[in-house]
Amino acid sequence: MRLTIFGSGYVGLVTGACFAEAGNNVLCVDVDERKIAMLRRGESPIYEPGLEELLKKNLAAGRLNFSSDPAEGVAHGLFQFIAVGTPPDEDGSADLRHVLAVAESIGTHMTEYRTVVTKSTVPVGTADQVKAKIEETLRARRVSVEFDVVSNPEFLKEGAAIADFMKPDRIVVGTDNPRTAELLKALYDPFTRSRERMIVMDVRSSELTKYAANAMLATKISFMNELANLAERMGADIEKVRLGIGSDPRIGYHFIYPGCGFGGSCFPKDVQALARSAKEHAFDAQLLAAVQDVNQRQKKQLYSKIERYFGGQLAGKTLAVWGLAFKPNTDDMREAPSRTLMEALWKAGAKVRAYDPVAGQEALRLYGDRTDFYLAQSSMEALQGADALAIVTEWQEFRSPDFDQIKAELKHPVIFDGRNLYDPALMRQYGLKYFGIGRGDSVVTRPPLERSAAQAAVG
């Protein structure tokens, strides 16, 4: 089949590469000429395991192409996927300018039937706006062309997006026209051969499903973080609690890992947008507001522990930070807890030596002009000259480090673990002070007071 995908960001690029891999003829359209040039060379502007290999393979096969010309895009595909960004507006609502701009382009250039598919995460009612914009543009042209608008939200996890697309656990399609449902079923058939995974519903329910899914997952994370903070005050270990409740099949183990807060381009934005939509419908979504508040507070937990440990005297101190991306297997630092921590440390007069296996270039783009920020090339290099270590992202290579070397490098043998990677008892054996999230360590012990030169002189 012939597909056009407007937007070559995270969702659009993964969608285009995977559809091309299944044998479809895909044209991705983007307004960014620099990005188009990169993609034509087979270079991915984002890090996602396996994505660049798919790009190169399908470019070489002629199944995947890139353009900045919307007219070419509209002429190319029976399916017109809208996968552009919907950043949060000032009031927290999703900004639909780019989505509606694509709809206008489709209406401007369309000459025969098209199935318009909203892939971007959008508020309930967006498909109606897309349809209205296309109809308005067609009327202005004084032409009549048949088209359908379908909702087909994405459920891709950053770091595992290729596998998620190739072997989806569900494909949600929102349409009021049985014909478009059959067209989408045929398009997705290569990805659903082992069992039927397509769930067809009305458009508005489909749009809400995406927000509901992300809000539910964010709620589980915030709830566990609330329990973790309570466990600290009660002297309990949240990791033991997690095992105890996760063994209940009604709860399960997914998304009940406590930590230093969630980030990324989806959960914070989508919870905020859903809360805003609720307000527009005169509904006070108290739980959604609480999820956001808990997460913002949780992002400050590591800094609070560090500040208490050093008695508020952070000026002149250097912190090693392991992990900058909001999660492993991505270079995405949007809303990342690492940013909250580092910016608080800098405000207090501390310096940061940071390391991340993938997100280094993104960190330099954000903070490269700061003299109090040093990007190390390895986890152990980040420790050199540091007073303490903070772990923010649970990359695999951080799970079993050389603890003797960590103790030898740090001026204060202390680890602040925002992802609960280590066993507190093991850390004590290595002579390291260890503060996780919800590990029963609410009272952070301060280090021995450093003796001044005058004190040393009098014995």
* CB proximity list for 245: less than 8 A, separation 6 or greater: 251, 256
Q: If you ran DSSP here, which 8-state letter would residue 94 be given?
A: B
> Residue 284 class from Cβ within 10 Å (0-12 exposed, 13-18 middle, 19+ buried)?
exposed
How far is it, in rounded angstroms, from Cα 416 to Cα 306?
7
Q: What does each C-alpha distance from 306 to 166, 263, 302, 408, 433 come to in angstroms? A: 43, 21, 6, 19, 12
Q: Which structure tokens are listed for 211? A: 């927000």
Cα 204 to chain centroid, rounded: 24
d(CA 408, CA 397): 19
Burial of 75 (0-12, 13-18, 19+ CB in 10 A): middle
- Please name the residues in contact with 27: beta carbons below 8 A apart, sequence gap of 6 or more: 2, 3, 4, 5, 65, 66, 67, 72, 73, 76, 77
Catalytic residue (choose from 18, 28, 260, 266)? 266
Q: Tokens standing for 451?
A: 């003796």
Nearest of 401, 393, 396, 390 to residue 360 by alpha carbon: 393
In the annotation, is 266 catalytic? Answer: yes
Nearest to 103, CA basis, from 124, 80, 77, 69: 80
> Which alpha helices (DSSP H) does 235-336 contain, by range?
238-246, 267-280, 286-298, 301-309
Distance from the Cα of residue 51 to its chain's centroid: 16
Residue with tokens 């597909």, as numbered in its chain: 3
Alpha-carbon span 162 to 134, nearest angstrom: 31
Residue 161: closest CA among 132, 119, 133 = 119
Question: Locate tokens 């296996």: which residue?
Answer: 357
Question: Looking at the annotation, which residues are catalytic?
Answer: 266
